[in-house]
């Protein structure tokens, strides 16, 4: 970002006769990360952002926004008075987006949106100046922040969009006005807030509400809920998935421990390889390839880009325990779809020793929690996983479902305050050639068990 404070006034449609000629090179809302050249936005969070203006000034910000219902400050630095800080944040983002005028790719989905965002950005950067959502800044703060901090020479902007309520993605899309809208998949994440997968699909489809008239909608064609709703989208459509009815599908998949390779119907002679485990990540790559195709990236350039991929937030990672056992760690996020995917991937991986699994509660499933925890039972068998450790009150439902498959010594349950007992039992059980999966929602805090094992 680069603009004079005078231009900020103009963008926000504020009249003033006394505007200092200050250059703004970025925006921030966290005073701890403030730096010279930043325009500080005191956004409302758990605390009023105005409380941190002095801290932002100490860290070097060049100017600040100030909401008019607060006492006007002393003139330590230039300030812009607005009626509403959040509205000003979004208004300035829209202005700057129009000024830079990049192609905008918006990505959402119940799972895989951060990975897909990174894949898309990597592919498109082979021929373009690309900016993307940092980490998973995908809400009402993150989307304007991403826009306002993109360089002035950005040609393509890849924006991730998350949601926890109906209407949220519609709002984010109205800020970004995407040229390409991508939906990775529909799962059960946040079903507590939406009630049904149908309603989740409706909310995800909001990413097409403000899709440009000559834009493109890229979606998972294996999902009936998306196929049905795509009929109402007038813009160009491209689908991906495992079925040959899709525009792009994988023809051969070879899954390894740390890499997955595949070919496709579109480019049968090009073998793509991603530095990630799991066939589920192939779908994310297919979505990225379709975006690349839509923006005229050559297949060999896309092949090279995917092979060199570094993912912002690769939550599933291989680690080593103190005694040498392999740990497949995914301790910060879990939902039924993601859990089933990683279980299937682990089944297919060849190991020298036993496979053990530790599963913690999947949160935010609401009234469907019992049914969805029980649903994992069909994907867990003693022939694949020798011992099962379950953590949390809702995992009792899965324990009961698995009781006919496992001896009681191989199926153990712990309350969420018994992580120390779980850790002790795992340390006693794990052998150097074993492989153990740790997966749960972050609220279960399996990262504490992981730390002790390592």
Residue numbers in the known binding site are 109-115
Comparing CA positions, the residue from 314, 349, 373 lying closest to residue 436 is 349
Cβ burial, residue 414 (10 Å; 0-12/13-18/19+): buried
Burial state string for 229-254 with b = 16 or more CB within 10 A and e = fewer than 16: bbeebeeeebbbbbeeebbbbbeeee
User: Residue 52 half-sphere exposure, CB side, CA atoms within 13 Å?
Assistant: 20
- Distance separating alpha carbons of residues 104 and 129, to the nearest angstrom: 12
- Distance separating alpha carbons of residues 153 and 199, to the nearest angstrom: 39
- Distance separating alpha carbons of residues 239 and 226, to the nearest angstrom: 10
Cβ burial, residue 136 (10 Å; 0-12/13-18/19+): middle
- Distance separating alpha carbons of residues 298 and 419, to the nearest angstrom: 50
Query: Are 143 and 215 contacting, i.e. CB atoms less than 8 angstroms apart?
Result: no
Supply 171's token pair: 């709002």
Supply 233's token pair: 């989208």
Residues contributing to the annotated binding site for ATP: 109-115
Sign of the Cα pseudo-torsion (149, 151, 152, 154, in order): negative
In DSSP notation, 266-289 reads SSTT--EEESS--THHHHHHHHHH
Sheet holding 411-414, edge to edge: 317-320, 326-330, 435-439, 355-360, 387-391, 411-414
Work out the number of other CB atoms within 10 angstroms of the CB of residue 446: 27
């Amino acid at each position: 970002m680069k603009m004079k404070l005078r231009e900020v006034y103009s963008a926000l449609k504020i009249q003033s006769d006394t505007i200092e000629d200050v250059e703004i090179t970025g925006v921030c809302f966290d005073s701890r990360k403030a730096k010279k050249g930043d325009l500080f936005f005191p956004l409302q969070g758990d605390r009023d952002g105005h409380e941190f203006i002095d801290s932002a000034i100490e860290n070097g910000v060049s100017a600040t926004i100030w909401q008019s219902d607060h006492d006007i400050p002393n003139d330590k630095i230039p300030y812009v008075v607005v009626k509403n800080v959040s509205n000003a944040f979004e208004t300035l983002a829209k202005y700057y987006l129009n000024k830079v005028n990049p192609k905008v790719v918006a990505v959402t989905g119940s799972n895989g949106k951060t990975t897909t965002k990174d894949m898309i950005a990597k592919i498109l950067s082979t021929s373009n100046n690309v900016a993307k959502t940092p980490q998973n800044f995908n809400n009402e703060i993150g989307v304007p922040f991403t826009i306002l901090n993109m360089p002035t020479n950005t040609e393509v902007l890849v924006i991730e969009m998350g949601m926890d309520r109906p209407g949220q993605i519609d709002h984010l899309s109205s800020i970004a006005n995407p040229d390409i809208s991508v939906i990775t998949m529909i799962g059960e994440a946040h079903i507590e807030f939406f009630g049904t997968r149908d309603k989740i699909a409706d909310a995800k489809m909001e990413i097409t509400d403000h899709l440009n008239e000559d834009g493109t909608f890229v979606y998972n064609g294996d999902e009936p809920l998306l196929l049905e709703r795509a009929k109402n989208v007038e813009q160009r459509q491209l689908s991906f998935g495992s079925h040959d009815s899709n525009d792009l599908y994988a023809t051969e998949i070879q899954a390894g421990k740390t890499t997955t390779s595949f070919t496709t119907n579109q480019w049968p002679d090009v073998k793509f390889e991603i530095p990630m485990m799991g066939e589920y990540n192939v779908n994310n790559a297919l979505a990225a390839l379709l975006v690349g195709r839509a923006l005229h990236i050559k297949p060999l350039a896309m092949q090279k880009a995917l092979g060199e991929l570094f993912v912002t937030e690769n939550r599933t990672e291989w680690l080593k325990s103190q005694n040498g056992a392999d740990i497949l760690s995914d301790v910060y996020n879990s939902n039924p779809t993601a859990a089933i995917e990683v279980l299937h991937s682990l089944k297919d991986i060849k190991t020298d020793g036993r496979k053990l699994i530790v599963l913690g509660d999947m949160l935010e499933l609401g009234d469907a929690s019992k049914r969805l925890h029980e649903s994992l039972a069909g994907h867990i068998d003693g022939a694949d996983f020798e011992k099962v450790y379950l953590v949390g009150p809702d995992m009792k439902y899965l324990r009961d479902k698995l009781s006919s498959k496992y001896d009681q010594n191989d199926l153990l349950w712990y309350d969420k305050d018994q992580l120390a007992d779980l850790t002790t039992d795992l340390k006693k059980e794990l052998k150097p050639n074993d492989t153990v999966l740790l997966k749960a929602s972050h609220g279960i805090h399996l990262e504490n068990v992981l730390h002790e094992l390592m």
